[in-house]
Structure formats: structure tokens, C-alpha cells
Amino acid sequence: MRPIRLDMAGFTVFRDETTVDFTDADYFAFVGPTGSGKSTVLDAITFALYGTVPRWGGTRGIGNALAPSATEARVRLVFESAGDRYVATRVVRRDGRGNVKTAGAGLQLMPAGFDVSKLDTGMDLDDLGEVLAGTPAEMDQAVQDAVGLPFEQFTSCVVLPQGQFADFLHAKPATRQQILVNLLGLHVYEEVQTRATGRGQTAEGKLAVVDQSLAGLADATDEAVEAAEQHVGRMRELTAAVEQAVPGLRAKRAAEVDAAAARDALDAEVRLLASVRTPAGSVETAGVTAAARAKAAETADEVRAAEEKEEKVRGELAAAGDAGSLNLMLDRHAELERLVGQADWFAGELSVAEVEHKDAAAAAELAHSAHLGAAQLLEQARLDYTEAQRIDRAAALRAHLAAGDSCPVCEQTVTVVPAMPEGSAVRAAEATGKAARAAAEVAESAWQQRDAVARKLESNLERKRAQHEHHLSRLAEARAAVADSPGVEALRRRLAEIDKLQKQLDRAAADMRAARSANRQAQAAVIAAEERQRSAWREFDAVRDQVARFSPPPADRDDLAGAWTVLVEWAADRAAERATARSSAEQAVAAAHAATVAALAEIVALFTAAGVAVPASSGSDEAHLIRAAAVAAERAEAAWRRLADRREQARELTEQRMTLQREARVAKALAGHLRANNFERWLLEEALDMLVDGASRILRELTGGQYDLIHDKGEFFVIDHHDAGLRRGVRTLSGGETFQASLALALALSEQLAGMSTTAASLESIVLDEGFGTLDAATLDVVAATLENLAARGDRMVGVVTHVNALAERVPVRFEVHKDARSAHVTRVGF
């Protein structure tokens, strides 16, 4: 069912005429404040179809349809279902005494291509199409035929109202099974079974009439026709006396044939009954099946016991505490002990570094002083060298002067020329300068080395101080961390206890897995044993069907060995009876043959007595014999033609009988298979498996991989992967988790119904009216994406009723619902 247009007037909060146009709204949302009338729009859809709304509590709540102080409410819904377009209309009025009743209801099939915009012109109901229902009573079946769903299933699978979103999830197995029967159209197999039964009965009735007709044609056999034809040739040669003897001969011959046929039939029956034997191994089949079932029950008990033990140990382990926290506290104790042991070492290292730095600093200072002294000596040597140069230049000038010469420097007259110095003053100054320079370089190198050592030791001292301070900080932290600790020994005892419980849990888990494996093997053995037993019963039924025409005794379906014993003994008794009867039949054949021989002898005697030789000869009275034979031949020929006609009639009836037998067997077998409900039960199980698989996939996506959905004996459970794969009933889920599970089922049902259904019922739309406010942001995003993907496929209309802005903003078409003092209104927003 896919809504196209909804018109309301006077319906609950919609006092004024309101139209909701769903055209091209594949994905829409009703948004608005609480109490504005969002859910009322869905109530109007449901009311137009079924005349009631889930929250009204049945048809007695019809008074809720009227707006306050209104006297009339009208609701009209145009919708599509299975390719056809319909219009459903309901009118409710309040009479003068205040009683509210349905004043009008109808369902019409609209013509193909009808433009729904014409409804705005005020068309008469008679112009909307073929009338399928005109009263509320007719509407119930007509709507169910059109939509394919009764009211309960519609509000569980298409329009999911507030408070009932989880109905399908929490429904009883029988209720859920009936929902699936209606959705999948499995009632068609009941109709097939009824028709098959009728056809089988009709075929059996016709078969009885044919058998009655064949009984009257039992003598019209090929052998009898051939004998009659031969008799015609003989009668043309026989006399009137021979003509009188021929019927006797024919009767005796027929009696002989019947006797031989009866004897042969007894032989065939004896062989058939003698073939009934108990197959090897069939007696042990029931015992093997019972043993397999007992083993399966035993392993199931072992699984429950193992699961209970594993759960108990798991609880004890959880109560014992967190091993990680305890190990962390032990590590902190060890850290404290290590830090305390390192405290003296760090202090000693700091003291040594301080002494070394002090000595290095003093040595550097001495080297610096020596460096300064050497530098002063070097500077003095440089000054001395300059003076030596001056002296040597003066001496050089003196060598060319004599007393009375003018001095080239001061231009004064030289009175006395000083004596020449011995050696060069520059050379002496150069030697002294070289020695001073070497001493200065040595002093500078020594000072730089000692200064580098002092700086390095100073850096080392700072590092040692930082290490010492960091060590003291860590020591204080470690002491604070273990302040509340019960002590190393206590911690170790608790860890030992946890380790012991963990090993017990591992053993319990291993035992549980082993028990489950054994149970699965036992279940497989049960299935195999039951299949062997079913195969043995099929073999029994096949043998019994071969002798069914002899009316064998009924079989006890609970005792295969006993059934075989009874059947074999019965067959032996019937075979013995027929073996006894065969002696009498053989005597009858011999007697009939003797009678035939005697009749032939009489005819030969008649020919002889009449003076006529055996038919191959002729006599003096030949003309008389020919005339008599001609008369006999005409009569024999007429009899022969009649017998041939009856034989053809018998052949046609025999072919008709085979056809009727075939039809009766097929119809009876089909009706029998469908009467046992095994086929319908199998279809329902397969459909539920597919539905749960699809819902589980969606639920894993909605819960981030936490939950899988399964079913067992019609009940739903979840597998909690965040709790070691624990299986939980769906009623233990929280509100948000219940919404997620219900949404997964609803979406899976919407996705898979079209592929599983045998009827026109299909979930062409799904509207959700609760639950989004219970979801966190991440789950809401997953739900929104899931709904978007479902709508994007194009084969489903998806609608939501929500006040969650984060969800509404992602929906392409929004119907904004607001209410003023008089009436509620709906405005479509979006493309």
C-alpha cells in the first residue's frame, strides 16, 4: 500500500479541510511540535482503510474521530496497491442525541490514469471508479483484498503507531506466524488443498460409474471377438443343428477362458503377496532414532550445565577485581623500591660532580692568570722588537757618519760618532719575541683546555642536579601512588586468586564449547536417524500400496517394526488362502476344458449324424447344409459385429478409467501433503529465517556490531557480542535497543516481503512513528543512513514522524504540522 493523497475535514485536530499530497514523496517526514497532530495524519490513513485507530481501542472509540464540537468528520485516502489505484472514504456524524456513528464508507477502484487533482473540483463519489464496497461491513473484506493485510498486520508492518512499534518484535509466536501467513499469502495453499480434495472426489465418482459400465462389458474381450469371427466362418458350413450347438460351445469356451484368467490372477496375487518381506535393518531404525534423541537430550543438559558453570565462574572473576589494576599497583611498588635504591647513587653522583666542577673551575682560573701573564710578556717583547729596529736603523746610519758631518735625521752637526754596537739588536729582540710568543700560545692553549673542561663539568653538574631533582619528584609520586595500597603480598595473593579464576573460566569455556559441539553432533545424529526412519516408512508405504487393493490392516505409525510384522503376517495368510484357492481354480480350468472338448465332439457328432463330414468334407446333402450354414453365418456375423462394438466401447472406457485413476491419485496425494501443514510450516520457517537474517544484518549496522538477532522456537533473541556472545531475550533490551531491533525487523520485512510473498500483498511503504528521540547521535546517523538507502532504492515509500531536527533536516520532503487555536494544518516543504 502506497498513499497518494489524504483529505481530512473535521477529523480530530484537523477541523478545517486539509489535504496531504504524497505525490513523488518517496522519503518524507512529519515534523512539528509535540501535540501538533503529526501522528493524527497516520491515524487518518489507518481510519480511512479500517475504520479504527490503534490508540482508540477498537471501533467503540469512533467518537474520537470528530473534532471538538464538530458534527461531521470526513476522511478520504487515495492509495496504490499491487499496481492498482483505489480511493477509500469514511464519513462519521454525531446525531442530535450525541451518538457518533459511521454515516458512510466506501472503496472504489479508480480508472487507469485518473488525475487525482480532479478531486479538488468536488467530484461525486460515483465518478471516482468501480465501487468495490459501499458499507462498513463490505469495507472490511474489500480493503483486506486490496491492501493484502488485515488491521493488526497493517499497524505492525506498514504504519507503525506510537506505543506499538515493537509489537512484531514482542508478539507471541502464533501471532507472528499469522502475520507472516497473511503477508506471504500462504492461505493459497489451503485453497489448493480444498480444490485438490474436490477434484479427487469428482474423479473417484466418475471412476465408479466407469467401473460399473466396464463390469457390463466384461465379456467383450479380444479373444471373444476373434472366436466369434472364427465362428462366423464355421456357421456358413454348418447345418441348423450346428447353429444351435455353437452358442453352447462359445459359452463353454468363455467359461474356460474365465477359469484360466481366474487361475492366472490367483498366481499373480500369490507372487505379489509373497514378495512382502521385512527389509534388513528396518527393525533397528526406531531404536537408533530413540537412542539418538536420548543422546541429544543428554548433551543439551550438559550444554546447560556447562553454560551455568561458565557464567558462575565469570561472575566470580568479575567480582575478584581487575588484574590489570593490581599489576599496575605492583609495578608501582617495584618502581618505588627501585627509586629508593637509586636515591643515594644520585646524591653521590651530584656530590662528585660538584667537587669536580669546583676543581676544574679553580684550574681554569689559574690557567687564565698564566695566560694573562704570558700575553703581557708577549706585548713587552713586541715593544722591545720595535725598539731594536730603531736601534739597528740608527746604527746603520752611524756607519757612514764622521765627526763634523750633518746628522741625516736631525740635520745637526755630529761632534762625536758613538761606537758601533756589537751584533744586531733586532735579532736579539726576535729571539726574545719568539720565546714570548711560544709561551703565550702554550698558556692560551692550557687556559682554553681547562676552561672547556670546566664548562663541560659545569654542564654535567647541571645535568646531575636535574636528574637528582627528577628522581626526587618520581620518588614522591611513587610514594603517593602506593599510599592506599594494601601491600605487595596482598596484591600478589589477589592476583593469584584472579589467575586461578581465569584458568577456571578458560576450562569452563572449553567445557562449554565441547558440550555445544557434542550437542550439535547429537542433533545431527537425530536428524540423520529421523531421516532414515522416514525413508524406512516410505519404503513400507510403497510395499503396502502395492497390496492396497487387498485391504491390508492399518499400520501403527509409531511402531515401524510392528507395522512390518503385521503386514508380512497378513500377506502370508492371504497368500496361503490364494494358494488353496488355486487348486480349485485349476480343477475349474480342467473341467471347463473338458466341457469345451465335449461340445466340439457334439458338433462333430451333429455333422456325422446329419450325414455331413467334418467341416473340411462334403456330402450328398451339401445344399441343405449350405443354406443352414448361410443362415447361421448371418446370425453369427451380426453377433460378431455387436461384440466388436462393445469391445471398442470397453477400450474407450478403459482409457477413461486410467485417466481418472491418474487424476484421483494426483489430487489425493496433493491434498494429503497440504493437509498435514508440513509445506506451510516449512515455508514459514524459511521466511522467518530470511527475515531474521536480514534484520540481524541491519541490527549489526545500527548497533555498531554489538547485536545479532536470532530466533528459536518462534521466540526472538539477541546475541550480545559486547558480553562474550551472551544470548538475551529481546524483552531485556533497553528502550533505545528495542527501537533499533524493531526498526531492523520492520526494514527487513519491507525489503524481503516482495520476494517471499505469493499474493499481491506487498509492503510498498513503511511509516515509523516513534523512537528516534531515544537514540544517541551516532546511532541516529546510522538509522538515518539506513532509511535513506531504503528510500533510494525507489521501490518503497519511507516516512517518519519525528521532532528530532537532526533527522528531519536529512529528509528531502517534510510535512510541517502546526496548530492554531482552531485547527491543525499541514504544509509540504521540499521537492
In this prediction, residue 275 carries a pLDDT of 83
pLDDT reported for residue 142: 92
Top pLDDT among 555 and 235 is at 555
Q: Would you tell me how many other CB atoms lie within 10 Å of the CB of residue 738?
A: 19
Find the mean pLDDT for residues 102-120.
81
pLDDT at 322 over 60: yes
Q: Does residue 610 have a pLDDT over 50?
A: no
CA atoms within 13 A on the CB side of 171: 21
Least-confidence region, from 546-560, 617-631, 725-739 = 617-631
pLDDT for the residue numbered 779: 75
Q: Pick from 575, 564, 333, 362: which is nearest to 451 by CA?
A: 362
- What average pLDDT does this structure show over 198-213? 83
Segments in 547-621 forming alpha helices (H): 560-609
- Cell numbers given for 170: 514482542
Average pLDDT rounded to a whole number, residues 501-512 = 86
**pLDDT confidence of residue 126:** 58
Residue 90: per-residue pLDDT: 93
pLDDT at 565 over 70: yes
This prediction has a pTM of 0.42
* Closest-CA residue to 4 (of 73, 86, 105): 86
Judge whether residue 273 has pLDDT over 80: yes
User: Which is it for the CA torsion 692, 697, 702, 703, positive or negative?
Assistant: positive
pLDDT for residue 715: 85
6 pLDDT band, cuts 50/70/90, is very high
pLDDT at residue 440, as a whole number: 77
What is the per-residue pLDDT across 409-433, written as a single tens digit (0 to 9) for each? 777 877 777 777 766 766 777 777 7
Q: Which residue has the cell 464508507?
A: 105
Q: How confident is the model at residue 107 (pLDDT cuts 50, 70, 90)?
A: very high
Lowest-confidence pick of 4-13, 345-354, 494-503, 730-739: 345-354
Q: Which residue has the higher pLDDT, 612 or 182?
A: 182
| pLDDT over 80 (residue 295) | yes
Locate 152 and state its grid cell.
493488526
Query: Phi, psi (5° rounding) for residue 400?
Result: -105, 5
User: Does residue 465 or residue 15 have the better pLDDT?
Assistant: 15
CB atoms within 10 A of CB 801: 25
Name the more confident of 686 and 236: 686
429 CB burial (10 A radius; 0-12, 13-18, 19+): buried
Evaluate if residue 760 carries a pLDDT over 60.
no
More confident residue, 354 or 139: 139
Q: Mean pLDDT over residues 54-83, rounded?
A: 82
Compute the CA torsion angle 107, 113, 118, 119 (nearest 10 deg): 20
- Beta bridge partners, 814, equal 29, 829
pLDDT tens string 579-597: 888 888 888 889 988 987 7
Which is more confident, 123 or 693? Answer: 693
pLDDT at res. 600? 59
Confidence of residue 59 (pLDDT cuts 50, 70, 90): low
pLDDT confidence of residue 18: 93
Strands 27-31 and 797-801: parallel
- Mean of per-residue pLDDT scores for the chain: 78
DSSP 427: H
Q: What pLDDT is attached to residue 615? A: 46
Q: In whole angstroms, what is the distance from residue 475 CA to residue 715 CA?
A: 61
Q: Is the pLDDT of residue 547 over 50?
A: yes
Q: Which three cell numbers stand for residue 475?
A: 620518588
**Per-residue pLDDT at 29:** 92
Per-residue confidence at 770, pLDDT binned at 50, 70, 90? Answer: low
Q: Quick one: pLDDT at residue 826?
A: 93
Which of 282, 260, 264 shows the shortest CA–CA distance to 272? 264
Residue 185 banded pLDDT, cuts 50, 70, 90: low
pLDDT at position 672: 73
Check residue 48 and give its pLDDT: 93
What residues does 729 pair with on adjacent strands? Answer: 717
pLDDT band at 629 (very low <50, low <70, confident <90, very high): low
Query: What's the pLDDT at 625?
Result: 35
pLDDT recorded at residue 754:
47
Q: What is the mean pLDDT of residues 241-260?
A: 72
**Residue 609: pLDDT above 50?**
no
For residue 205, the model assigns a pLDDT of 86
Closest CA to 81 of 795, 760, 794: 760
Contacts 24+ apart (CB under 8 A), 265-274: 266/578, 266/581, 266/582, 266/585, 267/582, 269/550, 269/574, 269/575, 269/578, 270/575, 270/578, 270/579, 270/582, 272/546, 272/547, 273/547, 273/550, 273/571, 273/572, 273/574, 273/575, 273/578, 274/571, 274/575
* Residue 614: predicted pLDDT: 44
